[in-house]
Structure 1
Amino acid sequence: MPIGRKGTFLLVVGLLVVVAVLAAILLRPYAVRVPLESAPTGSVVDHATYYDIDASYPTVTPLADSVGREADRAAITQMRSYVDEAVAEFKQEGNFDHLTPEDIHLMGFDQGRKETLRISYFSASSTPTVSYIFNLYVDTLGAHGNSTFHTFTYDLKSGAALGLEDLFVAHADYLGTLSRLSSARLPDILGNDSYDTSMVDMGTAPIEANFENFFLDGTSLVLLFPPYAVAPYSAGSQTLAIPVSELRTLLKPTYQ
Protein backbone atom coordinates (compact mmCIF):
# COMPACT_ATOMS: atom_id res chain seq x y z
CA MET A 1 0.00 0.00 0.00
CA PRO A 2 1.56 3.38 -1.02
CA ILE A 3 2.70 5.53 1.91
CA GLY A 4 1.69 8.81 0.30
CA ARG A 5 3.24 12.24 0.53
CA LYS A 6 2.07 12.87 4.13
CA GLY A 7 3.30 9.48 5.30
CA THR A 8 6.69 10.03 3.68
CA PHE A 9 6.99 13.41 5.36
CA LEU A 10 6.19 11.96 8.80
CA LEU A 11 8.67 9.13 8.26
CA VAL A 12 11.45 11.57 7.37
CA VAL A 13 10.65 13.74 10.40
CA GLY A 14 10.72 10.68 12.65
CA LEU A 15 14.10 9.60 11.32
CA LEU A 16 15.51 13.10 11.84
CA VAL A 17 14.33 13.09 15.46
CA VAL A 18 15.98 9.71 16.08
CA VAL A 19 19.24 10.92 14.51
CA ALA A 20 19.17 14.10 16.61
CA VAL A 21 18.63 12.17 19.85
CA LEU A 22 21.43 9.72 19.06
CA ALA A 23 23.78 12.57 18.17
CA ALA A 24 23.02 14.35 21.44
CA ILE A 25 23.81 11.19 23.38
CA LEU A 26 26.94 10.21 21.49
CA LEU A 27 28.47 13.66 21.11
CA ARG A 28 27.83 15.15 24.55
CA PRO A 29 31.15 15.81 26.33
CA TYR A 30 32.30 13.41 29.02
CA ALA A 31 28.98 11.66 29.59
CA VAL A 32 28.76 9.94 32.98
CA ARG A 33 26.57 7.14 34.24
CA VAL A 34 26.38 8.26 37.86
CA PRO A 35 24.85 11.74 38.42
CA LEU A 36 26.91 13.79 40.88
CA GLU A 37 23.95 14.41 43.14
CA SER A 38 23.27 10.68 43.54
CA ALA A 39 26.84 9.36 43.61
CA PRO A 40 27.57 6.89 46.43
CA THR A 41 29.13 8.35 49.56
CA GLY A 42 31.45 6.77 52.11
CA SER A 43 31.64 7.80 55.73
CA VAL A 44 33.80 7.83 58.83
CA VAL A 45 31.69 7.83 61.99
CA ASP A 46 33.11 7.63 65.50
CA HIS A 47 31.04 8.57 68.54
CA ALA A 48 33.27 8.17 71.58
CA THR A 49 33.14 9.30 75.19
CA TYR A 50 34.82 12.65 74.59
CA TYR A 51 34.23 13.36 70.91
CA ASP A 52 31.92 12.90 67.93
CA ILE A 53 33.22 12.45 64.39
CA ASP A 54 31.02 12.44 61.30
CA ALA A 55 32.78 12.63 57.95
CA SER A 56 31.78 11.82 54.39
CA TYR A 57 33.57 11.48 51.06
CA PRO A 58 32.68 10.31 47.52
CA THR A 59 33.23 6.69 46.55
CA VAL A 60 32.55 7.12 42.81
CA THR A 61 33.43 10.04 40.53
CA PRO A 62 32.62 10.86 36.88
CA LEU A 63 36.27 10.04 36.11
CA ALA A 64 35.27 6.37 36.08
CA ASP A 65 33.48 6.96 32.79
CA SER A 66 35.35 9.91 31.30
CA VAL A 67 38.87 8.53 31.90
CA GLY A 68 38.74 5.10 33.53
CA ARG A 69 38.63 3.23 36.81
CA GLU A 70 42.28 3.92 37.64
CA ALA A 71 41.75 7.70 37.55
CA ASP A 72 38.56 7.30 39.56
CA ARG A 73 40.34 5.26 42.23
CA ALA A 74 43.21 7.76 42.40
CA ALA A 75 40.80 10.65 43.01
CA ILE A 76 38.83 8.74 45.63
CA THR A 77 42.06 7.71 47.39
CA GLN A 78 43.24 11.32 47.47
CA MET A 79 39.99 12.56 48.99
CA ARG A 80 39.72 9.66 51.45
CA SER A 81 43.30 10.36 52.56
CA TYR A 82 42.35 13.97 53.26
CA VAL A 83 39.49 12.80 55.48
CA ASP A 84 41.64 10.19 57.26
CA GLU A 85 44.40 12.72 57.92
CA ALA A 86 41.92 15.26 59.29
CA VAL A 87 40.44 12.64 61.62
CA ALA A 88 43.89 11.55 62.81
CA GLU A 89 44.95 15.16 63.45
CA PHE A 90 41.75 15.86 65.38
CA LYS A 91 42.32 12.86 67.64
CA GLN A 92 46.00 13.64 68.13
CA GLU A 93 45.37 17.25 69.09
CA GLY A 94 42.56 16.19 71.42
CA ASN A 95 44.89 13.75 73.22
CA PHE A 96 41.76 11.81 74.18
CA ASP A 97 43.58 8.62 75.17
CA HIS A 98 45.75 10.40 77.73
CA LEU A 99 43.42 12.82 79.48
CA THR A 100 43.94 13.33 83.19
CA PRO A 101 41.02 13.70 85.62
CA GLU A 102 41.87 17.40 85.72
CA ASP A 103 41.68 17.63 81.91
CA ILE A 104 38.32 15.88 81.89
CA HIS A 105 36.89 18.26 84.48
CA LEU A 106 38.41 21.38 82.91
CA MET A 107 36.98 20.55 79.47
CA GLY A 108 33.59 19.68 80.91
CA PHE A 109 33.76 16.11 79.60
CA ASP A 110 32.47 14.90 82.96
CA GLN A 111 29.36 17.00 82.31
CA GLY A 112 28.61 15.40 78.95
CA ARG A 113 30.39 17.90 76.71
CA LYS A 114 32.17 16.60 73.62
CA GLU A 115 34.51 17.90 70.97
CA THR A 116 33.23 17.67 67.41
CA LEU A 117 34.62 17.05 63.94
CA ARG A 118 32.29 17.20 60.94
CA ILE A 119 33.41 16.88 57.34
CA SER A 120 30.86 17.25 54.56
CA TYR A 121 31.20 17.88 50.84
CA PHE A 122 29.35 18.87 47.71
CA SER A 123 30.32 18.61 44.06
CA ALA A 124 30.36 21.06 41.17
CA SER A 125 31.16 20.58 37.52
CA SER A 126 31.96 22.36 34.30
CA THR A 127 32.40 20.79 30.87
CA PRO A 128 36.13 20.06 31.41
CA THR A 129 36.23 19.58 35.21
CA VAL A 130 34.62 18.10 38.27
CA SER A 131 35.27 19.50 41.75
CA TYR A 132 34.62 18.32 45.28
CA ILE A 133 34.30 21.00 47.92
CA PHE A 134 34.88 19.80 51.47
CA ASN A 135 33.80 21.78 54.51
CA LEU A 136 35.58 20.85 57.73
CA TYR A 137 34.03 22.02 61.00
CA VAL A 138 35.85 21.59 64.32
CA ASP A 139 34.57 22.45 67.79
CA THR A 140 37.16 21.97 70.53
CA LEU A 141 34.93 23.59 73.16
CA GLY A 142 36.46 27.03 72.89
CA ALA A 143 34.51 30.24 72.34
CA HIS A 144 33.05 28.80 69.13
CA GLY A 145 33.73 26.18 66.50
CA ASN A 146 35.53 26.98 63.28
CA SER A 147 35.31 25.78 59.71
CA THR A 148 37.54 25.70 56.67
CA PHE A 149 37.44 24.51 53.06
CA HIS A 150 39.45 22.06 51.05
CA THR A 151 38.73 21.62 47.35
CA PHE A 152 39.73 18.96 44.86
CA THR A 153 39.39 19.64 41.13
CA TYR A 154 39.98 17.06 38.41
CA ASP A 155 40.29 17.29 34.64
CA LEU A 156 37.55 15.11 33.15
CA LYS A 157 39.61 14.28 30.07
CA SER A 158 42.98 13.39 31.63
CA GLY A 159 41.96 12.63 35.21
CA ALA A 160 44.70 14.92 36.52
CA ALA A 161 44.25 16.69 39.84
CA LEU A 162 44.34 20.43 39.14
CA GLY A 163 45.82 23.18 41.23
CA LEU A 164 44.87 26.80 40.60
CA GLU A 165 48.03 27.38 38.55
CA ASP A 166 47.07 24.55 36.18
CA LEU A 167 44.05 26.50 34.92
CA PHE A 168 46.11 29.36 33.53
CA VAL A 169 48.52 29.82 30.64
CA ALA A 170 52.22 29.93 31.42
CA HIS A 171 53.54 33.15 32.96
CA ALA A 172 50.05 34.62 33.40
CA ASP A 173 49.72 37.01 36.33
CA TYR A 174 46.67 35.14 37.57
CA LEU A 175 47.38 35.82 41.25
CA GLY A 176 47.63 39.55 40.66
CA THR A 177 44.40 39.50 38.67
CA LEU A 178 42.49 37.45 41.25
CA SER A 179 43.82 39.70 44.00
CA ARG A 180 42.66 42.82 42.21
CA LEU A 181 39.21 41.47 41.34
CA SER A 182 38.61 39.99 44.80
CA SER A 183 39.66 43.06 46.75
CA ALA A 184 37.46 45.23 44.53
CA ARG A 185 34.32 43.09 44.95
CA LEU A 186 34.46 41.90 48.54
CA PRO A 187 33.51 45.28 50.06
CA ASP A 188 30.09 45.11 48.36
CA ILE A 189 29.63 41.48 49.39
CA LEU A 190 30.61 42.07 53.01
CA GLY A 191 28.83 45.38 53.54
CA ASN A 192 29.79 48.10 55.99
CA ASP A 193 29.24 45.98 59.10
CA SER A 194 31.71 43.24 58.14
CA TYR A 195 34.20 44.98 55.87
CA ASP A 196 37.68 45.36 57.32
CA THR A 197 40.27 46.85 54.99
CA SER A 198 43.25 45.15 56.61
CA MET A 199 41.61 41.71 56.57
CA VAL A 200 40.58 42.01 52.93
CA ASP A 201 44.02 43.27 51.93
CA MET A 202 45.71 40.39 53.72
CA GLY A 203 43.24 37.73 52.59
CA THR A 204 43.38 38.76 48.93
CA ALA A 205 47.12 39.40 48.68
CA PRO A 206 48.50 37.78 45.49
CA ILE A 207 49.74 34.54 47.04
CA GLU A 208 48.62 31.02 46.15
CA ALA A 209 47.39 30.15 49.66
CA ASN A 210 44.72 32.86 49.54
CA PHE A 211 43.06 31.35 46.46
CA GLU A 212 43.75 27.64 46.90
CA ASN A 213 40.08 26.76 47.44
CA PHE A 214 38.29 27.09 44.11
CA PHE A 215 36.11 25.36 41.56
CA LEU A 216 34.71 25.95 38.07
CA ASP A 217 30.93 25.89 37.69
CA GLY A 218 30.65 26.34 33.93
CA THR A 219 30.40 30.13 33.87
CA SER A 220 32.67 31.28 36.70
CA LEU A 221 35.79 30.57 38.66
CA VAL A 222 34.44 30.38 42.20
CA LEU A 223 36.74 31.31 45.09
CA LEU A 224 36.02 30.25 48.67
CA PHE A 225 37.20 32.13 51.74
CA PRO A 226 36.69 30.52 55.18
CA PRO A 227 35.88 32.53 58.31
CA TYR A 228 38.68 34.92 59.32
CA ALA A 229 40.25 34.81 55.83
CA VAL A 230 38.84 38.13 54.60
CA ALA A 231 36.40 39.14 57.34
CA PRO A 232 35.62 38.62 61.04
CA TYR A 233 34.23 35.29 62.21
CA SER A 234 30.77 36.79 62.56
CA ALA A 235 30.65 37.37 58.79
CA GLY A 236 31.06 33.65 58.11
CA SER A 237 32.62 32.20 54.99
CA GLN A 238 32.59 34.11 51.72
CA THR A 239 32.02 32.92 48.15
CA LEU A 240 33.18 35.00 45.21
CA ALA A 241 32.33 34.03 41.63
CA ILE A 242 34.48 35.61 38.93
CA PRO A 243 33.02 35.21 35.42
CA VAL A 244 35.26 33.20 33.12
CA SER A 245 34.80 35.95 30.53
CA GLU A 246 36.87 38.27 32.72
CA LEU A 247 39.73 35.77 32.82
CA ARG A 248 39.65 34.72 29.18
CA THR A 249 43.09 36.10 28.33
CA LEU A 250 44.63 34.22 31.25
CA LEU A 251 42.83 30.87 31.32
CA LYS A 252 43.94 27.98 29.17
CA PRO A 253 41.45 27.43 26.33
CA THR A 254 40.49 24.07 27.85
CA TYR A 255 39.11 25.72 30.98
CA GLN A 256 37.26 28.65 29.41
Structure 2
Amino acid sequence: MKMSRKFITAGVAGVMALGIAVSAWAAEPQITDQKIRSGGVTVNIPVVKGAVGGAEVDDKVNMAIDFNIVKKLYAYLPGGSNGLSLQENYYPEFDGYGGAKASREFVTDIAGFINRQLQNQAQAAHKAGSHVKQYTFDGRYQVRFNSEELLSLEQTYMDYLGGAHPNTYLDTINVNLKNGKLLSLGDMFKAGSNYLPRLNAIVAKQVADEQQLKGFFDKKVEVNGTENFYITDNADLVIVYPPYAVAPYAAGTIEFIIPVSQVADIFNFKLE
Protein backbone atom coordinates (compact mmCIF):
# COMPACT_ATOMS: atom_id res chain seq x y z
CA MET A 1 0.00 0.00 0.00
CA LYS A 2 1.48 3.31 -1.07
CA MET A 3 1.08 6.23 1.31
CA SER A 4 1.10 9.81 0.12
CA ARG A 5 3.77 12.20 1.36
CA LYS A 6 1.00 14.37 2.80
CA PHE A 7 -0.35 11.45 4.83
CA ILE A 8 3.12 10.48 6.06
CA THR A 9 3.90 14.08 7.04
CA ALA A 10 0.63 14.36 8.93
CA GLY A 11 1.32 11.07 10.68
CA VAL A 12 4.81 12.14 11.75
CA ALA A 13 3.45 15.47 12.96
CA GLY A 14 0.77 13.65 14.94
CA VAL A 15 3.30 11.35 16.57
CA MET A 16 5.53 14.33 17.42
CA ALA A 17 2.58 16.20 18.91
CA LEU A 18 1.65 13.14 20.94
CA GLY A 19 5.25 12.83 22.12
CA ILE A 20 5.31 16.46 23.19
CA ALA A 21 2.01 16.05 25.03
CA VAL A 22 3.23 12.92 26.81
CA SER A 23 6.51 14.64 27.67
CA ALA A 24 4.66 17.62 29.14
CA TRP A 25 2.40 15.35 31.15
CA ALA A 26 5.33 13.31 32.37
CA ALA A 27 7.04 16.47 33.62
CA GLU A 28 4.43 16.82 36.36
CA PRO A 29 5.44 15.04 39.56
CA GLN A 30 3.56 11.90 40.50
CA ILE A 31 1.52 12.21 43.69
CA THR A 32 0.43 9.13 45.60
CA ASP A 33 -1.44 8.81 48.88
CA GLN A 34 -0.12 7.47 52.17
CA LYS A 35 -2.42 6.98 55.16
CA ILE A 36 -1.15 7.06 58.72
CA ARG A 37 -3.62 5.87 61.33
CA SER A 38 -3.28 5.42 65.06
CA GLY A 39 -6.51 5.06 67.05
CA GLY A 40 -8.42 8.33 66.74
CA VAL A 41 -5.69 10.02 64.69
CA THR A 42 -5.84 9.65 60.90
CA VAL A 43 -3.62 11.57 58.49
CA ASN A 44 -3.64 11.26 54.70
CA ILE A 45 -0.33 12.49 53.32
CA PRO A 46 0.70 13.11 49.70
CA VAL A 47 3.94 11.53 48.52
CA VAL A 48 5.58 13.58 45.76
CA LYS A 49 7.95 11.95 43.29
CA GLY A 50 9.39 13.09 39.97
CA ALA A 51 9.78 16.86 40.41
CA VAL A 52 11.59 18.54 37.54
CA GLY A 53 14.30 19.57 40.03
CA GLY A 54 15.13 15.94 40.77
CA ALA A 55 15.21 13.71 43.84
CA GLU A 56 16.60 16.47 46.07
CA VAL A 57 13.53 18.62 45.36
CA ASP A 58 11.26 15.61 45.97
CA ASP A 59 12.85 15.33 49.41
CA LYS A 60 12.41 19.04 50.14
CA VAL A 61 8.73 18.98 49.16
CA ASN A 62 7.92 15.84 51.15
CA MET A 63 9.75 17.13 54.22
CA ALA A 64 7.87 20.44 53.99
CA ILE A 65 4.58 18.53 53.93
CA ASP A 66 5.64 16.44 56.92
CA PHE A 67 6.81 19.51 58.81
CA ASN A 68 3.41 21.19 58.36
CA ILE A 69 1.66 18.11 59.73
CA VAL A 70 4.00 17.83 62.71
CA LYS A 71 3.46 21.50 63.56
CA LYS A 72 -0.27 20.84 63.72
CA LEU A 73 0.12 17.65 65.77
CA TYR A 74 2.48 19.34 68.23
CA ALA A 75 -0.32 21.73 69.18
CA TYR A 76 -1.93 18.83 71.09
CA LEU A 77 1.04 18.38 73.41
CA PRO A 78 0.67 19.69 76.98
CA GLY A 79 2.91 22.64 76.08
CA GLY A 80 0.95 23.35 72.92
CA SER A 81 2.81 24.49 69.84
CA ASN A 82 5.67 25.71 72.07
CA GLY A 83 6.85 22.11 71.95
CA LEU A 84 7.77 22.71 68.33
CA SER A 85 11.11 24.18 69.41
CA LEU A 86 12.05 20.74 70.77
CA GLN A 87 11.30 19.19 67.41
CA GLU A 88 13.31 21.84 65.56
CA ASN A 89 16.30 21.45 67.86
CA TYR A 90 16.47 17.69 68.30
CA TYR A 91 15.03 16.05 65.20
CA PRO A 92 17.35 16.41 62.18
CA GLU A 93 14.76 14.84 59.86
CA PHE A 94 13.54 18.32 59.03
CA ASP A 95 16.82 20.06 58.32
CA GLY A 96 17.83 17.87 55.42
CA TYR A 97 20.03 15.21 57.04
CA GLY A 98 17.53 12.42 57.53
CA GLY A 99 15.60 12.87 54.30
CA ALA A 100 11.92 12.42 53.56
CA LYS A 101 11.88 8.75 54.57
CA ALA A 102 13.03 9.64 58.08
CA SER A 103 10.63 12.58 58.36
CA ARG A 104 7.67 10.39 57.34
CA GLU A 105 8.64 7.83 59.99
CA PHE A 106 8.75 10.67 62.50
CA VAL A 107 5.21 11.75 61.53
CA THR A 108 4.04 8.17 62.14
CA ASP A 109 5.65 8.11 65.60
CA ILE A 110 4.19 11.49 66.55
CA ALA A 111 0.70 10.46 65.36
CA GLY A 112 0.81 7.50 67.75
CA PHE A 113 1.98 9.66 70.63
CA ILE A 114 -0.67 12.34 70.00
CA ASN A 115 -3.36 9.66 69.84
CA ARG A 116 -2.39 8.52 73.35
CA GLN A 117 -2.50 12.13 74.54
CA LEU A 118 -5.95 12.71 73.06
CA GLN A 119 -7.43 9.49 74.40
CA ASN A 120 -6.06 10.15 77.90
CA GLN A 121 -7.74 13.56 77.80
CA ALA A 122 -10.99 12.02 76.51
CA GLN A 123 -11.03 9.40 79.27
CA ALA A 124 -10.44 12.05 81.93
CA ALA A 125 -13.28 14.16 80.51
CA HIS A 126 -15.56 11.11 80.33
CA LYS A 127 -14.94 10.32 83.99
CA ALA A 128 -15.82 13.93 84.77
CA GLY A 129 -19.19 13.55 83.04
CA SER A 130 -18.58 14.08 79.32
CA HIS A 131 -20.55 11.81 76.97
CA VAL A 132 -17.63 11.67 74.51
CA LYS A 133 -15.39 8.62 74.84
CA GLN A 134 -12.88 9.33 72.07
CA TYR A 135 -11.21 12.47 70.79
CA THR A 136 -10.26 12.47 67.11
CA PHE A 137 -7.93 14.19 64.67
CA ASP A 138 -8.28 13.89 60.91
CA GLY A 139 -5.86 15.36 58.37
CA ARG A 140 -6.48 15.39 54.62
CA TYR A 141 -5.10 17.10 51.55
CA GLN A 142 -6.18 18.14 48.09
CA VAL A 143 -3.97 18.73 45.06
CA ARG A 144 -5.10 22.09 43.74
CA PHE A 145 -2.52 22.61 40.99
CA ASN A 146 0.25 20.41 39.63
CA SER A 147 2.50 21.40 36.75
CA GLU A 148 6.15 21.10 35.80
CA GLU A 149 6.99 24.29 37.68
CA LEU A 150 4.42 24.62 40.47
CA LEU A 151 2.68 22.40 43.00
CA SER A 152 -0.16 23.78 45.10
CA LEU A 153 -1.62 21.71 47.96
CA GLU A 154 -4.34 22.41 50.49
CA GLN A 155 -4.17 20.56 53.81
CA THR A 156 -7.29 20.45 55.99
CA TYR A 157 -7.33 19.30 59.61
CA MET A 158 -10.36 18.60 61.77
CA ASP A 159 -10.43 17.64 65.41
CA TYR A 160 -13.23 16.80 67.79
CA LEU A 161 -12.45 17.38 71.45
CA GLY A 162 -15.92 17.05 72.93
CA GLY A 163 -17.18 20.56 72.15
CA ALA A 164 -20.30 21.76 70.38
CA HIS A 165 -18.76 21.09 66.97
CA PRO A 166 -15.49 19.93 65.41
CA ASN A 167 -12.72 22.47 64.87
CA THR A 168 -11.38 22.97 61.36
CA TYR A 169 -7.93 24.26 60.42
CA LEU A 170 -6.16 24.55 57.12
CA ASP A 171 -2.74 25.07 55.63
CA THR A 172 -1.57 25.45 52.07
CA ILE A 173 1.77 24.54 50.55
CA ASN A 174 2.95 26.10 47.31
CA VAL A 175 6.28 24.95 45.92
CA ASN A 176 8.58 25.86 43.06
CA LEU A 177 9.35 22.39 41.70
CA LYS A 178 12.55 23.52 40.02
CA ASN A 179 14.34 24.27 43.28
CA GLY A 180 12.02 23.15 46.09
CA LYS A 181 11.45 26.68 47.41
CA LEU A 182 8.29 27.18 49.45
CA LEU A 183 6.37 30.12 48.00
CA SER A 184 4.68 32.87 49.98
CA LEU A 185 1.91 34.99 48.53
CA GLY A 186 4.45 37.70 47.77
CA ASP A 187 6.62 35.24 45.82
CA MET A 188 3.79 34.81 43.32
CA PHE A 189 4.28 38.39 42.17
CA LYS A 190 7.14 40.28 40.58
CA ALA A 191 9.52 42.04 42.95
CA GLY A 192 8.51 45.63 43.64
CA SER A 193 5.08 45.16 42.05
CA ASN A 194 3.18 46.52 45.08
CA TYR A 195 0.73 43.64 44.74
CA LEU A 196 -1.17 44.06 48.03
CA PRO A 197 -3.22 47.14 47.01
CA ARG A 198 -4.20 45.33 43.80
CA LEU A 199 -5.37 42.24 45.69
CA ASN A 200 -7.18 44.26 48.35
CA ALA A 201 -9.08 46.22 45.72
CA ILE A 202 -10.29 42.97 44.14
CA VAL A 203 -11.22 41.43 47.50
CA ALA A 204 -13.08 44.57 48.62
CA LYS A 205 -15.15 44.52 45.43
CA GLN A 206 -16.03 40.85 45.94
CA VAL A 207 -17.17 41.54 49.50
CA ALA A 208 -19.31 44.45 48.31
CA ASP A 209 -20.79 42.45 45.43
CA GLU A 210 -21.67 39.41 47.55
CA GLN A 211 -24.35 40.84 49.79
CA GLN A 212 -25.09 37.45 51.35
CA LEU A 213 -21.49 37.24 52.59
CA LYS A 214 -21.10 40.84 53.67
CA GLY A 215 -23.02 40.38 56.91
CA PHE A 216 -20.82 37.46 57.98
CA PHE A 217 -17.59 39.37 58.34
CA ASP A 218 -16.51 40.33 61.85
CA LYS A 219 -14.07 42.93 60.55
CA LYS A 220 -12.67 44.40 57.37
CA VAL A 221 -10.90 41.79 55.28
CA GLU A 222 -7.45 43.05 54.37
CA VAL A 223 -4.86 40.89 52.62
CA ASN A 224 -1.44 41.32 54.24
CA GLY A 225 0.66 38.67 52.47
CA THR A 226 0.64 36.02 55.21
CA GLU A 227 -2.58 34.32 54.09
CA ASN A 228 -3.00 30.74 52.97
CA PHE A 229 -3.56 30.51 49.23
CA TYR A 230 -3.59 28.04 46.40
CA ILE A 231 -3.63 27.99 42.60
CA THR A 232 -6.32 26.24 40.54
CA ASP A 233 -6.33 24.55 37.14
CA ASN A 234 -8.55 27.41 35.96
CA ALA A 235 -5.65 29.84 36.53
CA ASP A 236 -7.17 31.35 39.66
CA LEU A 237 -5.37 32.53 42.76
CA VAL A 238 -7.53 31.60 45.76
CA ILE A 239 -6.93 33.31 49.11
CA VAL A 240 -8.29 31.18 51.95
CA TYR A 241 -9.42 32.08 55.46
CA PRO A 242 -10.37 29.26 57.87
CA PRO A 243 -13.42 29.43 60.15
CA TYR A 244 -13.18 32.22 62.75
CA ALA A 245 -10.36 34.03 60.91
CA VAL A 246 -12.57 36.74 59.39
CA ALA A 247 -16.08 35.44 60.08
CA PRO A 248 -18.00 33.24 62.57
CA TYR A 249 -17.72 29.44 62.42
CA ALA A 250 -21.13 29.21 60.73
CA ALA A 251 -19.72 31.02 57.68
CA GLY A 252 -17.29 28.15 57.12
CA THR A 253 -14.10 28.56 55.12
CA ILE A 254 -13.99 31.89 53.28
CA GLU A 255 -12.34 31.93 49.85
CA PHE A 256 -11.64 34.85 47.55
CA ILE A 257 -11.13 33.69 43.96
CA ILE A 258 -8.91 36.03 41.97
CA PRO A 259 -8.47 35.25 38.26
CA VAL A 260 -4.77 35.53 37.49
CA SER A 261 -5.77 37.36 34.31
CA GLN A 262 -6.66 40.34 36.53
CA VAL A 263 -3.08 40.56 37.83
CA ALA A 264 -1.23 38.99 34.89
CA ASP A 265 1.04 42.01 34.42
CA ILE A 266 2.63 41.48 37.85
CA PHE A 267 2.24 37.69 38.24
CA ASN A 268 5.51 35.76 38.48
CA PHE A 269 4.56 32.41 36.92
CA LYS A 270 3.00 31.05 33.77
CA LEU A 271 0.14 28.71 34.62
CA GLU A 272 0.06 26.01 31.96
TM-score (norm 1): 0.77
CA distance in 2, matches of 1:159, 1:69: 10
- Mapping 1:77-226, distance limit 5 Å: 77-92=63-78, 96=118, 103-106=125-128, 108=130, 111-125=131-145, 127=147, 128-189=149-210, 191-192=211-212, 194-196=213-215, 199-201=218-220, 204-209=221-226, 212-218=227-233, 219-226=235-242
Partner letter of residue 207 of structure 1? Answer: N
State the shift of 1:200 in Å. 4.6
Q: Post-superposition shift, 1:85?
A: 2.8
Deviations along 1:180-225, one digit per CA (max 9) or x if unpaired, are 2213213544x43x53375250xx224233xx21112241111111
Partner of 2:266: 250
Q: Shift of the alpha carbon at 1:87?
A: 2.0
Tell me, in whole angstroms, the C-alpha distance in 1 between the residues paired with 2:138 and 2:232. Answer: 25
**Counterpart position of 1:228:** 244
Matched residue, 1:42: 34
Identical counterparts, % of pairs: 21
**Contact preservation (8 Å) 2:33, 2:46:** yes
Structure 2: how far apart are the matches of 1:102 and 1:72? 42
Verify: 1:11 aligned to 2:25, yes or no: no
* Alignment partners' CA distance in 2, 1:227 and 1:13: 55
Residue 69 of structure 1 pairs with residue 58 of structure 2: no
Distance (whole Å) between structure 2 residues aligned to residue 12 and residue 170 of structure 1:
46
Unaligned 5+ residue runs, structure 2? 81-113
For the pair 1:32 / 2:52, whether they are aligned, the reply is no
Q: CA RMSD in A?
A: 3.0
Q: Deviations over 1:154-181 (max 9, x none)?
A: 1133321111111112223222222222
Structure 2 letter corresponding to 1:205: E
- How far the C-alpha of 1:29 sits from its partner, in A, is 7.5
Give per-residue Cα distances to partners, 1:47-67, cap 9 Å, x unaligned. Answer: 1xxxx1111111224xx2411
Unaligned runs of 5+ residues in structure 1 are: none
Residue 70 of structure 1 aligns to which amino acid in structure 2? E
The aligned amino acid for 1:40 is: T
- Match in the other structure for 2:103: none
The verdict on how the C-alpha distance between 1:97 and 1:15 changes in structure 2, with shifts beyond 3 A counting, is closer
> Does the Cα contact within 8 Å between 1:199 and 1:231 map onto a contact in 2?
yes
Equivalent pairs, count: 234
What TM-score do the two structures reach when normalised by structure 2?
0.73
Opposite residue 231 of structure 2, the aligned amino acid is L
Pair 1:16–1:199, CA change in 2 (3 A): same
